[in-house]
């Protein structure tokens, strides 16, 4: 093993030795060294979402965080190449903010069930149905959908974005659970309209209009799961992501963006935590908080986030693939919605 890989292995062993077996640390340390060298040669920055597997997460990204954080980092980088260790809508957001830079995605097919749940034509139809109502779009959407929106949001600033609009009614797309959770937090009444047929309800008392999208990962967590874990560990603290159903959020002790979940565990003191989100993030929290006992339901994984590997990050840098492109006419319109979001806390 080269000295650089050995030094990296030693460092990872301290941080991840209780989570990842030695032989995997050895193997990945060698790839990490290749990536770090290529990153320098190609003047690239690596952004790593909180859902990345523990070795990748702890070795190669220059910045780690939630969607909002990483959008902000993407907006200010001076590097020539941005590699996004995350899914396609995240890489597209980086391209929307940096049209002159090369944005690479290690796994071409890493999508998102929320982004797939709505099209630009769907948003246009909603705008025709509810003329003049501002459109808030979750950042987990593709560029053409963002281009039809007034402002984007992430789970980290959704409430602040909705409140910033100072409008009686907003259209909030496409995550029905995030929308319902935001409606609850802002005291708004929500409907989920059909685009066919007549008026859905008396719009006078409706302040949020949602859509039918769901995260294929977070929709799997149930109140039953929480009950079962509480029965086994009565003093467990349950932390969930607001892409979970409102019932699961209500049965949890805390709900927030991936960054907020991490911060909550770091700053609180409980004998056990149950983290209801992509399992790898539970590993990353456990690595950073070795004194805390993290329970996670690893039968639930995001298949898209899990497509990003050390090997395809290296190949992405070596062969400049997969390059993310956004047509300029769409990018310019999407930019104003993303930029407006970035300005909000
Ligand atoms: P965050 O914005 O909280 O990081 O969430 C992104 C995501 O895709 C959650 O599933
Ligand atoms: Fe999309 Fe859900 Fe995966 Fe996040 S966890 S990327 S919302 S499918």
For residue 293, is it within any domain? no
The per-residue pLDDT for 196 is 63
Give the nearest ligand 2 atom to 277 CA: 5
Instruction: Render 276-326 in DSSP notation, one character per residue.
Output: ES-HHHHHHHHHH-TTS-EEE-TT---TTGGG--HHHHHHHHHHT-SBP--
CA-to-CA dists, residue 110 to 85, 105, 193, 210, 289, angstroms: 10, 9, 29, 25, 29
Quote the longest CA-to-CA distance of the chain: 69
For residue 65, is it within any domain? yes
Q: What is the CA radius of gyration of the chain?
A: 21
Band of residue 166 on the pLDDT scale cut at 50, 70, 90? confident
The per-residue pLDDT for 1 is 79
For atom 2 of ligand 2, the residue with the nearest CA is 215
Domain termination residue (choose one: 214, 246, 261):
214
Average pLDDT over residues 251-255: 98
Average pLDDT over residues 245-264: 98
Domain termination residue (choose one: 181, 197, 214):
214
For residue 70, is it within any domain? yes
With 0-12 CB in 10 A as exposed, 13-18 as middle and 19+ as buried, what is 327?
exposed
The encoded tokens of residue 80 equal 């020539």
Element (H, E) at 266: helix 258-267
User: What's the gap in Å between 337 CA and the centre of ligand 2?
Assistant: 21
Asked whether residue 196 falls in the same domain as residue 144, the answer is yes
For residue 324, is it within any domain? no
Asked whether residue 155 falls in the same domain as residue 133, the answer is yes
Ligand 2: list residues with CB < 6 Å. 87, 112-114, 140, 215-218, 243, 278, 302, 304-305
How far is the C-alpha of 92 from the C-alpha of 323, rounded, in Å? Answer: 10
Asked whether residue 12 falls in the same domain as residue 97, the answer is yes
For residue 331, is it within any domain? no
Cα dihedral across residues 179, 85, 340, 124: positive or negative: negative
Residues spanned by the domain of 245: 218-288
Other CB atoms within 10 A of residue 234 CB: 9
Ligand 1: list residues with CB < 6 Å. 50, 66-67, 140, 154-156, 215, 241, 243, 257-258
Strand 254-255, strand 81-85: pairing: unpaired
For residue 206, is it within any domain? yes
**What pTM did the predictor assign?**
0.95
Instruction: Decide: 288 and 267 in contact? Cβ < 8 Å.
Output: no
Domain termination residue (choose one: 183, 214, 245):
214
Instruction: Decide: 308 and 110 in contact? Cβ < 8 Å.
Output: yes
Band of residue 219 on the pLDDT scale cut at 50, 70, 90? very high
For atom 3 of ligand 2, the residue with the nearest CA is 302
**Cα-Cα end-to-end distance for the chain:** 45
Q: How many domains does the chain have?
A: 3
3-state helix, strand, coil in the chain (%, to 5): 50, 15, 35
Instruction: Decide: 28 and 15 in contact? Cβ < 8 Å.
Output: no
State yes or no: pLDDT of 142 exceeds 60. yes
Choose which residue among 64, 66, 218 to substitute to test ligand 1 binding: the one with the highest number of ligand atoms within 8 A of its C-beta.
Answer: 66
Average pLDDT over residues 150-158: 96
Asked whether residue 138 falls in the same domain as residue 202, the answer is yes
Asked whether residue 105 falls in the same domain as residue 152, the answer is no
Instruction: Decide: 56 and 313 in contact? Cβ < 8 Å.
Output: yes
Q: 162 or 204: which carries more pLDDT confidence?
A: 162
Band of residue 65 on the pLDDT scale cut at 50, 70, 90? very high
For residue 296, is it within any domain? no
How far is the C-alpha of 134 from the C-alpha of 153, rounded, in Å? Answer: 13
For residue 345, is it within any domain? no
The CATH number for 314's domain is 3.40.50.10800
């Amino acid at each position: 093993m080269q000295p650089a890989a050995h030094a990296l292995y030693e460092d990872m062993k301290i941080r991840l030795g209780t989570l990842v077996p030695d032989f995997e640390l050895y193997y990945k340390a060698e790839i990490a060294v290749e990536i770090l060298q290529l990153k320098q040669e190609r003047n690239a920055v690596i952004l790593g979402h909180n859902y990345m597997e523990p070795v990748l997460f702890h070795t190669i990204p220059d910045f780690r965080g939630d969607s909002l954080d990483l959008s902000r980092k993407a907006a200010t980088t001076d590097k020539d190449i941005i590699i996004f260790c995350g899914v396609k809508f995240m890489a597209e957001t980086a391209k929307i903010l940096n049209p002159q830079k090369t944005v690479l995605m290690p796994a071409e097919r890493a999508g998102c069930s929320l982004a797939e749940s709505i099209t630009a034509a769907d948003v246009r139809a909603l705008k025709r149905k509810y003329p003049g109502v501002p459109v808030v779009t979750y950042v987990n959407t593709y560029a053409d959908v963002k281009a039809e929106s007034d402002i984007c949001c992430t789970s980290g600033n959704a409430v602040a974005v909705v409140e910033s609009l100072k409008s009686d009614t907003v259209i909030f797309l496409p995550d029905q659970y995030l929308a319902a959770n935001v409606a609850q937090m802002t005291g708004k009444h929500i409907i989920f309209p059909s685009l066919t047929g007549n008026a859905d309800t008396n719009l006078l008392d409706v302040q949020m209009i949602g859509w039918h999208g769901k995260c294929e990962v977070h929709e799997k967590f149930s109140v039953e799961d929480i009950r079962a874990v509480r029965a086994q560990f009565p003093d467990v603290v349950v932390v969930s992501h607001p892409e979970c159903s409102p019932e699961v959020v209500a049965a949890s002790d805390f709900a927030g963006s991936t960054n907020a979940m991490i911060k909550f565990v770091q700053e609180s003191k409980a004998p056990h935590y149950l983290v209801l989100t992509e399992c790898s993030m539970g590993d990353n929290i456990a690595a950073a908080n070795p004194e805390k006992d993290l329970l996670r339901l690893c039968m639930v994984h995001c298949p898209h986030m899990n497509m990003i590997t050390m090997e395809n990050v290296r190949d992405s840098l070596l062969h400049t693939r997969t390059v993310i492109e956004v047509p300029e006419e769409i990018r310019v319109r999407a930019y104003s919605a993303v930029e407006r979001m970035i300005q909000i806390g």
